[in-house]
Chains A and B, each alone.
Chain A
Amino acid sequence: MAYGTDPRERYSYGEVSDDERREFLKALGVIAGGTIAGATLYDLRAEVSSGTASGLAEMGQGIRDGLTGSLDATLLSNQLGALTASFEQLPELEAMGVPEAGSEAYQSLTGPAWEINEHLADVGFFASAEQTLPSFTPEHIETTTRQLLHLDALPATLAEVGFAEQEQAALVTNIVNAREQLSWWMPTTAYPPAEAVDDGVVREYVAPLHQRAAEGSLLWIDGLDHYLWTNEVLVTSEMIDRGLWDIKSMLGGYYLMGAAARDLAEGTIADEHLSTLISGSSAIMIIGQEFLLDDVIRITDDKRAPAGVISQ
């Protein structure tokens, strides 16, 4: 996948190894001795301080103020409920293997998320988030991760859609362990505005960072029916297994983002938690995309299914 600090060595597929936890803790300045923390969010929380949440509350307020429309709590709540069913389908997809021609099995996972997505875009949620939140600098990644670990509601929210304790921890450790790839995803504001170039347009053609994270995830999942069927002769069961974790991560990220938006609509979320959850969920969705590419889409000769005997 990458040069230099290859994240594949530290990426967790739902189970966080000792080495992965050690890497994670080291990145957050915790030097693990002979023993290593357990593999749940609670275990990691015990090792990692929440740090200072400086600015997160103001950012949350900024996101709230930057909305151009009203969030519809009912719509969000209903669609989140529908999205829960998508997670329940994942084991069936594993059993199914490569989809049949014309299958919409993967595409059917994202219907509720697209409804949420359209609504969030309509009310300026993505634009407001990007205008307010910093880019994925090392500092912001660290702050976000520390805060995520200490979000009391996080384990329960993730458990609602079937993330086991180890899987919950994997989502968070992957943010830090794949931070280099994350940093490549720059906010639209990193690009010059139209008036800065002659006759040019820049920012106007790059979607907000958090929209790229969310919508990109849905596009990748939607296309898998076609992609897997088209490339059946190359695809292995390992690719599908790993891809399903990447999908679960992306959908998990989407659920967190949608839940934060719903809580915002209902007025039940603290500002600092709102910024933490939008940043954290976007990070999870971006990393899921990067690894789906690596696990399923970009197939090298050593990973492909063996070239079989062609019947004539």
Chain B
Amino acid sequence: MTFESHLEELPEDAPWHEMPGESQLEQYDTDQIPEVDITESDIRESGQNPENWLVFGNNYEGHRHTTADLITPENVDQLEFEYVLELGAPENDFQGSPLVVQGDPPIIYQTIGPDRLYAINGRTGEILWRNIYENADGTSAETPPAERGPAVVGDMIYKSTLDLGVLAMDRYTGEPEWYYNGAAAYRGEVADTDVGMHEELRWERSRGTTSSFPPMICDGILMKGSFGGEFGVSGFFDGINIEDGSPEWRVNMTPEHEWVGDSWMHGGGTAWAASSLDPESGTIIIPSANPGPWYGTVRPGYNPYTAGKVAVDIQTGEYEWHYQDAPHDWWDYDSPSPALVFEEEHDGEPTRFAAWPGKTGWVYTVNMETGQLHQRSEEYVQHYNMWSLPPYEDLEDAPWIMPELRGGTNPQTSSFDPVSRTMVVKGVNHPMKFSWFEVEYEPGEFYIGMDTIRQDRVPGEEEEIDEPDIETPREEIVEVEEEVEDEEEDVETVDEEEDDEDEEEEEEEEEIEEMEEEEVPFWNQNGGVLAGIDPFTGEVKWQQWYSWQQTPPWGGSMTTATGITFAGDGRDLFTAFDTETGEELAEWDVGAAVSGAPISWYDPGEEKQYVAAPAGGEREDWTEPGNRFAVLSLER
């Protein structure tokens, strides 16, 4: 076994620049967008510049930390809504991070699903242009895929697409410049369909199984991942030339010789969530997803590089190290939450580490140079029957297991306060039963083979939803006009066609009601947690629990140089916490589940510090849907 590089062939005759879908651009007052030269050096220093948020984590290291310091624990309760945008339909998960480019005015770039990118005046909320990419195989009307954000450099902005490609656009106008077709070749085979996509990468896109990867740009290379682990794909991760969108390298995430037989071909290991990187070593840390199918008897061995992190060289894609949260996973314990990189003195030497929370409910901290585990944290969610294998076709007798398939931590992005060395982590805390069954592989169909039941309520207790006692600022909401009538009609049609399926689902639900009435004494009856963790020592400093009557906290968090953590939750609340203690300082009702990651910037022209809270999606029965983009501010 050699954990060497596993770079795929890149056939020259593949249609690498063929755009399978269609890009639709709507331009408004684009003259408002100021010309600002953004270099890679600016991206590297974004974390120190309070006026910018130029990369997903605000620095390559993924800290989600702002040096803007106008907002303090003492005045944070004076933060007021500046504007709230309702960005059209269908309602969606944000799950990602907006970017802000400084200027007069600052410009926000925000994506929502499916495949929409907006340029927004950061001061007024005015939409300046909008680019909608219609992917080749369509998207589910009921569960459109989530978006995780764009990338910028120079005069360009880049967005991954649901066709596994990248659309490069002029940042000032939204006009497409080039397209990289990531589905042009697959496992070294050239696509031979009429849209230039490999046939095994085609199916209707839907949340939970397909999603956008926020591109990462460094040293002239744009990097992006893949999706489809639940559809039996073999994952890959691409490096693309930023100038013309040509492929530079592709990492095979299921290297053939480390899997038995041909199991690698449907082994999963996709990379669908955000990445981070260490600019000092030129290494990107790829988040890798679960192996496929979910049951392991057809794929013996560790199943590298699934369910963990893989570090590769940015210039070449060459392997550097990997760490698996869940070798030979059975529970969908992939590792989507991006790592954060930090430096600490260790054994007398300044040492760089990468740390991330897993669906497994621990924070893993590894040596950035070697990948060796430095520390596994104390548990920040409950563990119960951990690693118990699901039985075969016997859900009723299956044990309750914690964490469940959503974690622990799913794509929720952590933040880091380097001063107090606190990593702020969100986690889910529900028991779940798993039971496996055989499944056949068919292109474009689910390849999971696992039944599950989640215990998300306490049997015998009334479901009294913990409603926040805060008024949503309806008068502040700007309804952004969208041409969505046709889509809404489509939704109705699909609903009618799916009536029969709904009835079947209802019957199934009745059958499992009895199981849902089972008590799980071990469970602390909390559905989720926000935790402050020292990633160097593994100590859990504090935990803010969310009861089972609240939707588990989704979305990311953000820290400030003044000791505040901003994070949202499923009660539609956006909350400010003390980073060192977890104490709540102030909260706002955004009117939709806060499933995106907040950002902040200082606008010297207005002398205001802004905080954006993307909200919507991760809808439980009782949460408000929406595509709400709320911006709050505090004036000096």
Contacts and interface: CB of A to CB of B under 8 A. Distances in A.
Interface in A75-123: 101, 107
In the complex, which of the residues B366, B386, B389 has the most CB atoms of chain A within 10 Å of its own CB atom?
B389
Interface stretch (A16-24, A40-48, A60-68, A197-205): A197-205
A220 B301 contact: yes
A185 B394 CA distance: 16
Interface string B323-357: 10001100000000000000011110000000000
B428 to A, nearest CB: 18
Interface string B76-97: 0000000000000000000000
A233 B376 contact: yes
B635 interface: no
A292 to B, nearest CB: 10
A234 B376 CA distance: 8
Given A197-B442, A215-B261, 13 more contacts: A1-B389, A2-B389, A3-B399, A185-B297, A191-B438, A196-B440, A205-B266, A219-B1, A230-B373, A301-B378, A307-B375, A307-B378, A310-B374
A310 B389 contact: no
B523 interface: no
Contacts of A301: 378-379, 383
The 6 closest A-B pairs by CB, nearest first: A216-B300, A207-B261, A219-B301, A222-B1, A298-B387, A200-B442
A231 interface: yes
B392 A184 contact: yes
Interface string B282-322: 00000000000001011011101000000000000000000
Given A107-B1, A205-B261, A4 B397 contact: yes
B398 A212 contact: no
Nearest to A297: B327
B1 A204 contact: no
A153 B300 CA distance: 30
A204 B392 CA distance: 23
Nearest to A192: B440
Contacts, number: 145
Contacts of B300: 212-213, 215-217, 219-220, 289
In the complex, which of the residues B304, B347, B386, B390 has the most CB atoms of chain A within 10 Å of its own CB atom?
B386
A10 B327 CA distance: 25
B376 to A, nearest CB: 6
Contacts of B442: 197-200
B440 A202 contact: yes
Contact of B297 (A186, A211, A233): A186
Interface of B: 1, 3, 199, 258-263, 265-266, 295, 297-298, 300-302, 304, 323, 327-328, 344-347, 366, 370-376, 378-379, 383, 386-392, 394, 397-399, 438, 440-443, 536-538
Contacts of A200: 440-443
A212 B297 contact: yes
Contacts of A191: 438, 440
A31 interface: no
Contacts of B297: 184-186, 212
A3 B389 contact: yes
Contacts of B302: 219-220, 223, 227, 297
B441 A233 contact: no
B261 A300 contact: no
Interface string A157-169: 0000000000000
Contacts of A304: 376
B362 to A, nearest CB: 8
Nearest to A107: B1
B431 to A, nearest CB: 14
Contacts of A223: 1, 301-302, 304
Given A219-B301, A220-B300, A233-B375, A212 B1 contact: no
B262 A207 contact: yes
A296 to B, nearest CB: 10
Interface in A205-260: 205-208, 211-213, 215-217, 219-220, 222-223, 226-227, 229-234
A226 B379 CA distance: 24
Interface string A185-196: 110001110001
A233 B370 CA distance: 14
A176 to B, nearest CB: 18
B506 to A, nearest CB: 28
Interface residues of A, number: 56
Contact of A226 (B3, B346, B398): B3
A293 interface: yes
Contacts of B536: 310, 312
B230 to A, nearest CB: 16
Given A107-B1, A216-B260, A230-B372, A311 B346 contact: yes
B458 to A, nearest CB: 23
A298 B386 CA distance: 9
Given A205-B265, A219-B260, A311-B347, A232 B443 contact: no
Contacts of B323: 230
A229 B388 contact: no
Nearest to B348: A311
Nearest to B326: A298
A101 B375 contact: no
A109 to B, nearest CB: 12
B370 A101 contact: yes
A181 B372 CA distance: 32
A310 B440 CA distance: 48
Nearest to A203: B440
A311 B259 CA distance: 38
A230 B442 CA distance: 36
A99 to B, nearest CB: 12
Interface string A279-292: 00000000001000
Contact of A206 (B1, B261, B394): B261
Contacts of A212: 260-261, 297-298, 300
A307 to B, nearest CB: 6
Contacts of A190: 438
A33 B136 CA distance: 71
A217 B260 CA distance: 10
Contact of A4 (B1, B295, B391): B391
Contacts of A311: 346-347
Nearest to A4: B397
A183 B388 CA distance: 17
A12 to B, nearest CB: 20
Nearest to A209: B297
Contacts of A2: 388-389, 391
Contacts of B366: 230
23 contacts: A1-B389, A2-B388, A3-B394, A184-B392, A192-B440, A196-B440, A197-B440, A201-B441, A202-B441, A205-B265, A205-B441, A215-B261, A215-B301, A219-B1, A220-B300, A220-B301, A226-B1, A230-B372, A289-B300, A301-B383, A307-B376, A307-B378, A310-B346
A219 B258 contact: yes
A301 B360 CA distance: 12
In the complex, which of the residues A4, A206, A233, A234 has the most CB atoms of chain B within 10 Å of its own CB atom?
A206
Given A3-B398, A219-B1, A293-B328, A207 B375 contact: no
Contacts of B261: 205-208, 211-212, 215
B345 A312 contact: yes
A293 B1 CA distance: 18
A83 B371 CA distance: 32
Contact of B260 (A101, A196, A207, A297): A207
Nearest to B370: A101
Contacts of B371: 230
In the complex, which of the residues B259, B262, B298, B379 has the most CB atoms of chain A within 10 Å of its own CB atom?
B298
In the complex, which of the residues A107, A191, A293 has the most CB atoms of chain B within 10 Å of its own CB atom?
A293
A294 B386 CA distance: 11
Contacts of B345: 312
